[in-house]
Structure 1
Amino acid sequence: MRRRLIQSTLAVVLVVIAVFGVSLVIVEARTISSTAQERVDLEAARLASIVDSRLLGTGTVDAEILRRQVEGDRYAVIRVKGEPALEVGAEPSGDVIRGEATGEEGETVVVEEPRSSVTREVGRTLLIIGLVALLAVIAAVLLAVRQANRLASPLTDLAETAERLGSGDPRPRHKRYGVPELDRVADVLDSSAERIARMLTAERRLAADASHQLRTPLTALSMRLEEITVTDEPETVKEEATIALAQVERLTDVVERLLTNSRDPRSGSAVTFELDDVIDQQIAEWRPAYRGEGRAIVSSGKRRLTAVGTPGAVAQVLAALIENSLMHGGGTVALRTRVTGNQAVVEVTDEGQGVPADLGARIFERAISGRNSTGIGLAVARDLAEADGGRLELLQSNPPVFGLFLSRTHPPKKTDAETDRTVR
């Protein structure tokens, strides 16, 4: 591209120089020739005036006086009636410029000048025009190189930016070049980079959330299958198989919800459900794991509470809290239910050391963990709670008490316009 820009600029400059240069040379040559002819004519008229003054004064013309009046390589011939012609200077050879004048006393004066003087002056003019043209070409080359670099370098940068985007590096460069069209392309690429970065972040977050949300049902399913493998009692096998099927259904629900949220995070499936059913299900699922650790998991508080939300999501929130207590807590884990205002609250507490003071305010942030864990369980649990209009909070650090707040009535439905404004 640089070469094409330089070649096109030089072509334009050379055409302009050719058109105007040739015209200027023709005009200057004619002007110089006309000026030389006028000069010779004036010289002849001047000599004729001198001859007139000599004839009127002394009646004779002195060749020596005339010789002093003729300058350079000019040649003059003065003819007076009744007298021989007077020649002043050396007669030029070749092509000459001739000027002739007639005096008042009837004398004639002819002045000749070699045309080579005109040729030399035309040559000097051509040399000057050629130097100016050369300077114009050099300036055009420098300008073309500068303009080519100004246009080609940004295009190279933009190509590198597009290549980086294609290779998975979505960092915007925020670099501008002072050319509106190129800056527009840079704006579009930066906007695309930011959108790609958001998409990649969402994809990575979805993968992390999926792995964490699928881990708990898979762990529970694995425990049920282990129970089946170590028992020979048909009733026990049937009971564990029934629970395992429930785990498979829950796993299917988790996958469907993840796919739905990835397509449209605003879509929800909140319904009114019995909290006791979800709590009893979680206690039944986690009791074997706690029993294996020599610990207990119990429930207490107000019974037969209803709440609005997605039962599967609420089950995952409670599972994350129960698993967190199993990994980081100690003693008996208790799930207590109560009512505050128009909300049903499920509190999960244990008898462990609690949440460190330096983590209390950041416990729900991603990648924040007090032990060697992923650090996304509580963050995912809070997102799930907020997706159905609830909230998850750390009510007390020591002993640890987490509270899941769920509405007991459906919120008023938003119109499409209100939903669009909220999304924006």
Structure 2
Amino acid sequence: MRRRLIQSTLAVVLVVIAVFGVSLVIVETRTISSTAQERVDSEAMRLASIVDSRILGDERVSADVLRDQVDADRYARIDIPGRAPIEIGERPADDVIHAEAQGEEGETVTVEEPRSSVTREVGRTLLIIAAVALLAVVAAVLLAVRQANRLASPLTDLAETAERLGSGDPRPRHKRYGVPELDRVADVLDSSAERIGRMLTAERRLAADASHQLRTPLTALSMRLEEIALTDDPDTVKEEAVIALAQVERLTDVVERLLTNSRDPRTGSAVSFDLDEVIKQQLEEWRPAYRSAGRAIVSSGKRHLEAVGTPGAVAQVLAALIENSLMHGGGTVALRTRVTGNQTVIEVTDEGPGIPPELGARIFERAISGHNSTGIGLAVARDLAEADGGRLEMLQLKPPVFGLFLSRTPTKPSEAAAEEQRTVR
């Protein structure tokens, strides 16, 4: 590209020099020739007037007297009637510039100048024009090189940026070049890099969430299948198979929620459900794991409570809290239900050492953990609770108490519209 830019610029400059240079040479040659002719004509007229004045004054007219009036490179001849011709200088043998002038006393003055003087002057002019043309070509080459570098270097950078994007490096460069068209391409590539970066982050986050959220259901399902493999009792096999199928359904729900990644509680997917059923299901699912760890998990509080949300999402939030207590807590884990205002609250607590004060509310941030774990579970649980129209809070550090707040009554369409209107205002 650099070579093509330089060649095209140089070709344009050469064409311009050829057109204007030839025209200038022709004009200058004619100007020099006409100027030389005018000089010779003027010389003849001036010499004729000198001769007239000397004849009228009865002064001597001779070559010695008039020699100083004629340039050394010119030849002059004065023809006076009744006298011998007077010649001054050496008459040129080659092509000459010729001029004649008639005096008032009848004399004829002839002045000749070699055309070689015009040729020399034309040559000097051509030399100057050629030097200027050469300087123009050099300047054009330098300008073309600079312009080619200015255009080719950004294109090389943009190509490298595109190659980095294709290789999976989505970091934007935020580099601009002062050329509007190239800067526009750079803007688009940076925007694409940011979008690709967000997509990769979302994919990594989905992979991390999936690995974390699917680990527990798969473990529980594996335990049920082991129970089926170890027993020959048809009733036990049937019971365990029913429980395993229920766990498969919950596992499917986990996958679907991870893929959608966000939900709007006003879309109609939130329903009223019996909270006791969800708590009972979680106790049955986690009791074998707690029994294996020599610990217990119990429930207390108000019964037969109705909550608004998605049972699968609430079960996932409770599973994350119960798993967190199993891994980092101690003693008995208790699930307590209570009512506050128009909300149902499920509290999950244990008898462990609690949460370090330096973590505080940051416990819900991703990659934040006090026990070298992934730090994903509580962050995912809060996202699920908020997506389901509720909220997850840390109510107490020691002993640790987490509270899941759910609405008791569904929001009517008119109330939702009014609430949205107040939010907009």
Q: TM-score range by the shorter chain?
A: over 0.9
Runs of 4+ more than 6 Å apart: 262-268
Q: Distance in 1 between matches of 2:232 and 2:371?
A: 39
Secondary structure of the 2:185 match is helix
Shift, 1:17, TM fit: 0.9
Q: 1:164 is matched by which residue type in structure 2? A: R
2:186 alignment partner in structure 1: 186
Determine if the alignment matches structure 1 residue 177 to structure 2 residue 216: no
Residues 26/288 of structure 1: CA separation in 2 closer, same or farther (3 Å cut): same
Residues 116/46 of structure 1: CA separation in 2 closer, same or farther (3 Å cut): same
Residues 264/16 of structure 1: CA separation in 2 closer, same or farther (3 Å cut): farther
Residues 377/98 of structure 1: CA separation in 2 closer, same or farther (3 Å cut): same
Q: Distance in 2 between matches of 1:25 and 1:164?
A: 56
Shift, 1:344, TM fit: 0.4
Q: What number of residue pairs does the alignment pair up?
A: 419
Q: Distance in 2 between matches of 1:205 and 1:265?
A: 22
Secondary structure of the 1:308 match is strand
Q: Distance in 1 between matches of 2:268 and 2:31?
A: 92
After TM superposition, the structure 1 stretch with the greater mean CA deviation from structure 2, 336-345 or 254-263, is 254-263
1:64 alignment partner in structure 2: 64
Q: Distance in 1 between matches of 2:81 and 2:93?
A: 27
Shift, 1:258, TM fit: 2.3
Residues 265/406 of structure 1: CA separation in 2 closer, same or farther (3 Å cut): closer
Q: Is the 8 A contact 1:354 1:399 kept in 2?
A: yes
CA deviations 1:308-366 (Å, max 9, x no partner) are 11111110111111111111111110000000111100000000111111122211111
Q: 1:71 is matched by which residue type in structure 2? A: D
Q: Is the 8 A contact 1:268 1:387 kept in 2?
A: no
Residues 263/303 of structure 1: CA separation in 2 closer, same or farther (3 Å cut): closer
1:93 alignment partner in structure 2: 93
2:305 alignment partner in structure 1: 305
Matches within 5 A, 1:17-32: 17-32=17-32
Shift, 1:237, TM fit: 2.7
Q: 1:350 is matched by which residue type in structure 2? A: D
Secondary structure of the 2:359 match is helix
2:240 alignment partner in structure 1: 240
CA deviations 1:108-139 (Å, max 9, x no partner) are 01010000000000011111111111111111
Q: 2:111 is matched by which residue type in structure 1? A: V
Shift, 1:90, TM fit: 0.7
Task: State the superposition RMSD in angstroms.
Answer: 1.9
Shift, 1:6, TM fit: 1.3
Q: Distance in 2 between matches of 1:172 and 1:262?
A: 27
Q: 2:257 is matched by which residue type in structure 1? A: R
Q: Distance in 2 between matches of 1:72 and 1:255?
A: 111
Q: Is the 8 A contact 1:261 1:267 kept in 2?
A: no
2:282 alignment partner in structure 1: 282
1:166 alignment partner in structure 2: 166
Q: Is the 8 A contact 1:206 1:262 kept in 2?
A: no
With normalisation by structure 1, the TM-score equals 0.95
Residues 226/78 of structure 1: CA separation in 2 closer, same or farther (3 Å cut): same
Q: Distance in 2 between matches of 1:80 and 1:247?
A: 139
Secondary structure of the 2:258 match is helix
Q: Is the 8 A contact 2:305 2:344 kept in 1?
A: yes
Q: Distance in 1 between matches of 2:368 and 2:288?
A: 28
Shift, 1:279, TM fit: 0.2
Q: 1:162 is matched by which residue type in structure 2? A: A
With normalisation by structure 2, the TM-score equals 0.94
Shift, 1:183, TM fit: 1.3
Shift, 1:226, TM fit: 2.3
2:336 alignment partner in structure 1: 336
Q: Distance in 2 between matches of 1:319 and 1:19?
A: 87
1:204 alignment partner in structure 2: 204
Secondary structure of the 2:374 match is coil
CA deviations 1:25-53 (Å, max 9, x no partner) are 10110010000001001111111111112
Q: Distance in 2 between matches of 1:334 and 1:59?
A: 146
CA deviations 1:271-305 (Å, max 9, x no partner) are 11110000000001111111111111100000000
Matches within 5 A, 1:13-162: 13-58=13-58, 60-162=60-162
1:358 alignment partner in structure 2: 358
After TM superposition, the structure 1 stretch with the greater mean CA deviation from structure 2, 47-56 or 398-407, is 47-56
Secondary structure of the 1:357 match is coil
Q: Distance in 2 between matches of 1:9 and 1:345?
A: 78
Q: Distance in 2 between matches of 1:397 and 1:182?
A: 56
Residues 412/193 of structure 1: CA separation in 2 closer, same or farther (3 Å cut): farther
Secondary structure of the 1:335 match is strand
2:228 alignment partner in structure 1: 228
1:10 alignment partner in structure 2: 10
Matches within 5 A, 1:258-297: 258-261=258-261, 269-297=269-297
Residues 160/29 of structure 1: CA separation in 2 closer, same or farther (3 Å cut): same
Secondary structure of the 1:358 match is coil
Residue segments in structure 1 that go unaligned for 5+ positions in a row = none
1:390 alignment partner in structure 2: 390
Residues 267/156 of structure 1: CA separation in 2 closer, same or farther (3 Å cut): farther
Shift, 1:264, TM fit: 9.3
Shift, 1:265, TM fit: 11
2:411 alignment partner in structure 1: 411
Secondary structure of the 2:175 match is coil
Q: Distance in 2 between matches of 1:68 and 1:43?
A: 12
